[in-house]
Copies of this chain bind each other. A is one copy, B any other.
């Protein structure tokens, strides 16, 4: 748990809030625009601890680097197959899905992660958009 307030931590948290589903590297880039002296290690450490403490949510996605989300409530994500952008998707009933799933005999299912693949609005319009 982070007990002292520092310039670096403020910049990192500010970036997470300003960006939409940033990866650690996205955050680093944003922080560097304001202060290039902040180190990569610090960004990873601050993000890891913020996720640990529940201040932000770490999104562990299939096929992408972990992203960070300031929305703490559970929801699904769509990853754009073209540019990698991540969009929030409201999905009504994963509990039903989990209940319906034929579990592994003898095993136990605790959580259900739903992830969609598709095209984000920009890429769907055919815009020459690359990477968030």
Contacts and interface: CB of A to CB of B under 8 A. Distances in A.
Contacts of A61: 62
What's the number of copies of this chain in the assembled complex?
2
Given A91-B97, A91-B101, A118 B124 contact: no
A26 interface: no
Interface residues of A, number: 42
A73 interface: no
A115 interface: yes
A77 to B, nearest CB: 10
A33 interface: no
Interface of A: 60-63, 76, 78, 80-81, 87-94, 97-98, 100-121, 124-125
